[in-house]
Amino acid sequence: MAEQATTVEEVCDFVRSTQHVRVMGGGSKDNLSREPTLCVGGLSGLIEYQPDEFTFTALAGTPVAQIEEVLAEHGQYLPFDPPLSKSGATLGGTLASGLSGPGRFRYGGVRDFVISCRMVTGAGEIIRGGAKVVKNAAGFDIPKLLVGSLGCFGVLIDLSFKVFPKASATATLKVETGGVSAAVDAMHQLTHQPLDLCALDFDREGVLCLRVGGLAASLPERLQRLRTLLTGLGTIEQVDDDAAIWAAAGEFSWVPPGARLLKIPIVPGSIARIEQSLQNSRIDPPRRYSVGGNVLWLSWRSEDRWEQLPEFELGGLVLCGDAPVRWMGHWQDNVFFQRLKTIFDPDGKF
Amino acid sequence: MHDPFLQALGGIVPEERLLLGQAELLPYESDGLTAFRAKPRAVVLAESAEEVIQIVKTCHAHDVPFLARGSGTSLSGGSVPVEDGVVIALNRMNNILDYCPIFRSMVIEPGVITAQVTQRASEDGLYYAPDPSSGPVCTVGGNVAFNSGGAHCLKYGMTSNHILALKVVLPDGEVTTFGTASLEGVGPDLTGMFVGSEGLFGIALEITVRLLPVAETFYTVIAAYDTLERAGKAVAMLVASGLLPGAIEIMDRLVMEAAHAAVGVEYPSRAEAVLIVELEGPTEEVAEEKVQLQQILKESGAFEINPAKNEQERLMIWKGRKSAFSAAGRLSPDFIVQDGVVPRSRLGEALVEIQKISNKYNIRVANVFHAGDGNLHPLILYDGRQAGLYERAEECATEIMRLCIALGGSITGEHGVGLEKLVFLKEMYGPEDTLFMHRIRDAVDSARLANRGKMLASAEAPALFSHGLHPLEKQGIIFRN
Amino acid sequence: MQHTIPTGETGPCGEKMAEAVAACVHCGFCLPTCPTYQQLGEEMDSPRGRIFLMKEVLEGGLPVDAAAPYIDRCLGCLSCATACPSGVAYGELITSYRTRAENVRRRTFSQKLLRKLILKTLPYPGRFHLAATGGRLVRPIARLLPRQLATMLALIPGSFPRKEPLPECMPAKGKRRGRVALLAGCAQQVLAPQINVATLRVLAENGIEVVVPRDQGCCGALAAHTGAGKEARAAAKHNINVFPRDVDAIITNAAGCGSGLHEYPLWLAGEPEQEAAGHFAARTVDICQYLHDVGFRPPPPLTTPLPVAYHDACHLAHAQGVRSAPRALLESIGNVQLCELADAEICCGSAGSYSIEQPEIALQLGERKARAIIATGAQMVVTGNIGCLMQIESHLKRLSHPIPILHTIQLIDRAYRAEG
């Protein structure tokens, strides 16, 4: 049974008195927060938000959805489209698992928007890194180090982010290219153009989703131009509810219930190889290529044997479902990581 | 050569690339911040990653401090040698190792000049977004070490946001890699931690940068204001409007004069301050945005709004802006460039305070800054040949720095702490967090060899100085002319 | 940059040198434009590094001889001065410094010999012709000579064009619009006398009367830029005396000489002639700039399109700021298609006697420039300086691309004559 912490002091006390600390926030990524010893869901709330400053600070256990709601009231948003926000993802969990959604394509990921953090180290000390301004080059960039760290350096207390003004209008075109390889070819034609695409995803059927955002007045013209560019690549359709399809993508609604959900970082050049190895394994898992071919979201159903999972060069993260591991890859062997770990977590609690 | 250490270096590089003579070492004694100088024991002109690794290993074996130097343009003293240490010059390591236009990434050696990345990528309609003013001179290796910024951070972030992967040599000679060519990864963002570490974690040997498509249309405008404060308020209005320009910059009267003398740009004659705003994006989008922009500028009290009529005029606007620091040499024989950050919504307030401080010390302060980011660059002008003026300028600078901290900002937006802001790191982060940074450094570099004395003041250094000798001068670690 | 240069003890130009050092903010904007930094990649061989070294020497902290190799390697192309946002008068600094350093530095016997040879022959057309003829005779034994002498011999053309005696006065064609005096140059009179002839004709064509003072001598630039202050001052004083005052301008058609004339006030700092030197310099103007300013009658178009690469001579572009005038003149000729060179601001390596004193770097730069020209696909090269002309011609030949090369004024002259 996990201990519930609602104050910083409780977190510090818990860390000081416990040998094994595994943190859970909202529990939206069940495989990552498996067997938690500390739940920080109660460490929640927006601490500071100045709309005209375009920055906010919130406790790590604050649900992302709650923040997005407040931001939206002021026409602002987190441009990296934090995934699983409707499933209860917290700000801290999003940062610690290093997750960014389709919007990462345009302005950057969670790493590019976090500006400051407070955390409790393995020694039970509270430290702060970064500053609550959009530009800062002083000292080591601790907030960035924590992105994707899966809680191995400490317990997050609060986080500050910069945010952007939200486009007043958005629209999405779907192009049925006929298959993954045709979608990849189409993508390469598009990524060099100054189209200012907000997102570029495609699925295993080769249906390309292109999102455009901006001023309502200029959007129709931009869409028209995009259509012209896409001519010959497949049937083009403008989706009716653009917000809904991206929200669904962010919640991975295409993943069958109970299936494992994996995040596999890739380079666009490796897609052909991945497709080939999936074909060889004779498993055709539901999947979605996101961020212009930089991430593969893969669903590995419970009936598919774990051992049949292809090797992925850049490792992977198993977010949800029942899996024998939390991640794949060798980042823990990195000597720089190991040296940092001795300072953040001298007793190996995390 | 009887010194076994120098002998060992001589075994790594040929004689002509191991500089030991007085005339050879002198020009390496300082960087873009001439207030500080230190004598290196040797300068090694490295030509390959393998040489750098061997040099670092040798330094480690002999317990000799070292630092890497690109073009020596640091404005915080970041590449001032460590006294009696080794300077590893990387400017000759300037090869583009791999360029993949289709995946929008490039792998380069650390000595590649920043502007050359864009130059190479432009054939494919791509560019490298970070654009420090010294872009045509500085190296990407240096930008990585100091997480350099530039005018276009507002929309695209700093250097760190554009570095995908690194191959580095740690301070004891161990080689490791972080990140991949993918935009995403698994595990802690070690790349992000290394960028901006001011050389304390070692030396980047190979850098993978992210490239972006060049915007289709730019709309760059100079808006003239009768007071600096009004220009500052215009920035707040712009930021709050929901527009996301590529850049928002301010230059005051003095800086305009200097830039005009340096590159011949014309500014509105009665302007006390000008705002440079650049919109960029798809043509249709910019066409709509510029209507909004003009509206806001008019409402904010701009008495003249001059858009660049063509690409040449646009480049001139930027040339003038980017020459500003160096051109300040025309305003005054000596000056201190500051790099503080304040919350953007408090820009107007900060400008009024800076003016008060300037009056109080009776020292001219010229202002040029990345306004959209709240990144101020007050240029504190003084004549070091007049007794007492340097001290007064330092006090004035200290007060401005404290103002930034008090407003909840940062002591440096893009130049780094280096030597110059050494004593202020603790003021900004407090003793515990600063100590924690010391511990991190010690874990990575237990011998404290890599760029020793930068960013983190040695434990024995006095916490603060307001005038007189810099603590490091008292210790004989650095000296100035 | 702070300094402690004792301006009282560093000669008449002490104050000027100190000012230049003070103006340098060490920002490094000069690095990418410096040919020697590009080639050698060392801070000592950059403008910023050299300013630092000169400062140290002037302050007394560094022996002159220790700094000498790096100061000597400076081409004096002044590309750095163009790039400098802070307005460092680098040219004034290094010229004054070289003069000052020359008095104290130690040179080896062969260095001294070479220097004498250069200074006593190049500035004198008669001697140069004689020496060059003699040089050709000893070419077979060049291998036995010191490297630099051998290079000097290699630069001597196989044959010289015939001498072209210049009239003392060339009347204007049609209505006279102006009257100028021409500096005929030394090496140019031997190597390419046609340039002066073309200059006279083009000026006449534009209604300008030209006088060519009989007693004029070398401009003194070669001496000044190698630290021979005495010779430079003598040359300056002589020319100030012999050139008429009642002309609208003193025309130069060799960039190096033009830049030298502009430096007369600096060379004569502290001398009684300093003021006169100021007036003299103020009246000095490059031929292309003059034509552009007084209003130029465009020649008829060429019969066929001709892609022309224009090479900016450093002493025109950087030292005198003359860039657009020659281009404008050339573009006014129909069918001339101007090609811009990559890295146009970088020196071709000629730089007066530099190609003799620093043959390796001069060779690299010459080759680089030739390649940049070849890359444009131009069928003709034009430039405004005899030194560049010789250097580029020889490197184009070495790369087996003997593209014809002319002085800007020669191409204009040809266009007019096609009309006649």
pLDDT at C145 over 80: no
CB contact under 8 A, C44 and B333: no
Mean per-residue pLDDT for B198-205? 98
Whether the per-residue pLDDT at C108 is higher than 90: the answer is: no
Tally C-beta pairs within 8 A across B and C. 112
Average pLDDT value for chain C: 91
Task: Decide if B384 and C2 are in contact by the 8 Å CB cutoff.
Answer: yes
Residue C346 has pLDDT above 80, yes or no: yes
Instruction: For residue B198, give the CATH number of its domain.
Output: 3.30.465.10
Cα distances (angstroms) measured from residue A109 to each of A249, B167, B378: 16, 22, 32
Mean pLDDT computed over B256-262:
92
Query: What residues form DSSP beta bridges with C311?
Result: C383
Residue B272 makes CB contacts below 8 A (sequence gap 6+) with B225, B226, B227, B228, B231, B252, B253
Give CA torsion, residues A146, A152, A154, A158, to 10 deg: 40
Spatial contact of B332 and B382, defined as CB atoms under 8 Å apart = yes
- Does residue B399 sit within a domain? yes
Which pLDDT belongs to residue B464? 34
| Rg of chain C (C-alpha set) | 21
Considering the domain architecture, whether residues B19 and B109 belong to the same structural domain is answered as no
Nearest to C41 by CA among B94, A158, A10: B94
Q: Which residues of B touch A152 (CB under 8 A)?
A: 188
Strands (E), B378-423: 378-382
Domains observed in chain A? 3-165 (3.30.465.10), 169-250 (3.30.70.100), 260-332 (3.30.70)
Residue B480 lies in a domain: no
Q: Stretch C339-366: mean pLDDT, rounded?
A: 90
- The answer to which of A228-242, B121-135, B197-211, B465-479 has the lowest mean pLDDT is B465-479
Please indicate if any CB of chain A lies within 8 Å of the CB of B157: yes
C219 in Cβ contact with C232 (< 8 Å): no
**Which tens digits make up the pLDDT trace of B352-370?**
999 999 999 999 999 999 9
Tell me the per-residue pLDDT of B172-183, one tens digit each, with 9 for 90 and over: 999 999 999 999
Q: Given this chain, do its domains C169-293 and C299-419 carry the same CATH topology?
A: no
pLDDT tens, C198-250?
999 999 999 999 999 999 999 999 899 888 999 999 999 999 999 999 999 99
**CATH number for the domain formed by residue range(s) C169-293:** 1.20.1050
Whichever domain contains B401, its CATH number is 3.30.70
Q: Is the pLDDT of residue B475 over 80?
A: no
Contact map slice: A 264-323 vs B, CB within 8 A: 265-269, 291-292, 294-295, 314-317
Confidence at B1, pLDDT banded by 50, 70, 90: low
Interface of B with A in 169-188 (CB under 8 A): 170, 174, 176, 178, 180-188
For residue B159, tell me if it sits in a domain: yes
Query: In this complex, is the C-beta atom of A211 within 8 Å of any C-beta atom belonging to chain B?
Result: no
> Is the predicted pLDDT of residue B459 greater than 60, yes or no?
no
Q: For A238-285, what is each residue's pLDDT tens digit?
A: 999 999 999 999 999 999 998 999 999 999 999 999 999 998 888 999
Q: Could you tell me which residue, C274 or B469, shows the higher pLDDT?
A: C274
- Smallest CA–CA distance from C63 into chain B, residue: B23
- Residue that the structure tokens 């055709």 belong to: A284
Task: Give B92-133 pLDDT, tens digit per residue.
Answer: 999 999 999 988 999 999 999 999 999 999 999 999 999 999
Q: Output the 3-class SS for A170-218.
A: EEEEEEECCCHHHHHHHHHHHCCCCCCEEEEEEECCCEEEEEEEECCCC
Same domain, B302 and B346: no
Q: What is the pLDDT of residue B480?
A: 45
**Does a structural domain hold residue B50?**
yes
When scoring B99, B182, B401 by the number of chain A Cβ atoms within 10 A, the one with the most, hence best to mutate, is B182
Looking at residue A281, what is its pLDDT? 85
Q: Which residues in C have their CB inside 8 Å of a CB on B?
A: 1-4, 22-29, 31-32, 41-44, 46, 48-50, 52-53, 56, 62, 66-67, 69-70, 84-88
Residue type, A234: G
The residue-averaged pLDDT of C83-96 equals 94
* pLDDT above 90: percentage of residues in chain A: 91
pLDDT of residue B285: 95
Which of B22, B26, B36, B257 best probes binding to C when mutated, by most C CB atoms within 10 angstroms?
B26
Q: Residue A65 and residue A74: Cα distance in Å, rounded?
A: 15
- Judged against a pLDDT cut of 60, whether residue C269 lies above it is answered with yes
Residue B418 lies in a domain: no
pLDDT in tens, A169-215: 999 999 999 999 999 999 998 888 899 999 999 999 999 999 999 99
Tell me if C345 sits within 8 A of C20, measured CB to CB.
no
At residue C155, the pLDDT reads: 67
CB contacts, 8 Å: A147 with chain B: 188-189, 192
Same domain, B281 and B351: no
Residue A142 sits at the chain B interface (C-beta within 8 Å): yes
At residue B121, the pLDDT reads 96
- Kindly tell me the number of DSSP H helices and DSSP E strands found in chain B: 16, 18
Is B341 in the same domain as B317?
A: no
The more confidently predicted of residues B7 and B328 is: B7
Radius of gyration of chain A (CA): 21
Q: What is the pLDDT of residue B467?
A: 38
Select the residue from A54, A74, A100, A140 to test the B interface by mutation, using most B Cβ atoms within 10 A: A140
pLDDT in tens, A50-108: 999 999 999 999 999 999 999 999 999 999 999 999 999 999 999 999 999 999 999 99
B330–C29 C-beta distance less than 8 A = no
C78 neighbors C94 (Cβ within 8 angstroms): no
Q: CB distance B481–C3 less than 8 Å? A: yes
Is residue B413 one of the residues assigned to a domain?
A: no
E strand or H helix that includes residue C337: strand C336-339
Answer whether A336 sits within 8 Å of B196, measured CB to CB.
no
The answer to the question of residue B315 being in a domain is: yes
Do C43 and B328 lie within an 8 Å CB cutoff?
A: no
Give the pLDDT mean for C357-364.
Answer: 90
List the structure tokens of B220. 């760059």
pLDDT band at B481 (very low <50, low <70, confident <90, very high): very low
Q: What is the pLDDT of residue C216?
A: 93
Give the Cβ contact number of residue A289 at 10 Å: 28
Out of B296, B323, B350, pick the residue that ends a domain: B323
The CATH number for B248's domain is 3.30.70.2190
Residue C208, SS3 per DSSP: strand
**Contact criterion met (CB < 8 Å) for B187 and A314:** no
Q: Out of C28, C66, C86, whose CB is closest to B72?
A: C28
| Domain of residue B40, CATH code | 3.30.43.10
Does residue B305 fall inside a structural domain?
Answer: yes
Nearest CB among A51, A215, A332 relative to B288 is that of A215
- In chain C, which residue's Cα lies nearest the Cα of B114? C32
- CATH fold of C299-419, please? Rossmann fold (3.40.50)
Contacts of C56 in chain B (CB under 8 A): 26
Instruction: Pick the residue from chain A with its C-alpha nearest to B441.
Output: A340
Residue boundaries of the structural domains of chain C? 7-102, 109-155, 169-293, 299-419
Whether the per-residue pLDDT at B156 is higher than 70: the answer is yes
Mean pLDDT of B334-342: 91
Asked if this assembly's ipTM is beyond 0.90, the reply is yes
- Within 10 Å of residue C307's Cβ, how many Cβ atoms? 14
Structural domain including B170 reads 96-213
Q: Residues with Cβ < 8 Å from A344, sequence gap 6 or more?
A: A121, A122, A152, A153, A154, A350
What does CATH list as the number for C7-102? 1.10.1060.10
Find tokens 């020196």 and name the residue. C347
Using pLDDT thresholds of 50, 70 and 90, give the confidence band for residue B468.
very low
> What is the SS3 assignment for B209?
strand
- In this prediction, residue B465 carries a pLDDT of 34
HSE-CB at B451 with a 13 A cutoff on CA atoms is: 28
CA distance C29 to chain B (A): 6
The answer to whether residue B63 neighbours chain A at the CB level (below 8 Å) is no
Indicate the pLDDT class of residue B463, thresholds 50, 70 and 90: very low
Touch C-A: 3+ C-beta pairs under 8 A: no
What is the number of structural domains in chain B? 5
Instruction: Give C125-144 pLDDT, tens digit per residue.
Output: 777 777 777 777 776 666 66
